[in-house]
Amino acid sequence: MPRLCKFTSPSDGKPVYVNPDQVSVVYTFKGQPPDTIIAFGKDFQLGVKESLEETVRILESVTGDAGR
């Protein structure tokens, strides 16, 4: 089983788990407050409470891609 990354749902504060191997892009959606979005391919997006920088750091720590 792949290692999963734990994030927080912005709507209810419950944990959500992400397989970092399936993430295609991470970005900030400009709103008030701005949301961090994790996208999987073109059909699925997940909003998380963590900042963009924190989200990328968490994903990189699991995949070992830090410093690329």
Question: Which range of residues forms the domain containing residue 34?
Answer: 5-63
Predicted confidence (pLDDT) per residue in 5-39, tens digit: 999 999 899 999 999 999 999 999 887 778 899 99
Would you place residue 65 in the very low, low, confident or very high pLDDT band (cuts 50, 70, 90)?
A: low
Q: Is residue 38 part of a domain?
A: yes
* 44 falls within a domain: yes
Work out how many domains the chain is built from and give that number.
1
Q: Do 64 and 54 form a contact (C-beta atoms < 8 A)? A: no
The reply to whether 34 falls in a domain is yes
Residue 68 lies in a domain: no
* Mean pLDDT of the 46-64 span: 92
Q: How is residue 40 annotated by DSSP?
A: E
Q: Residue 30's domain is classified under what CATH number?
A: 2.40.50
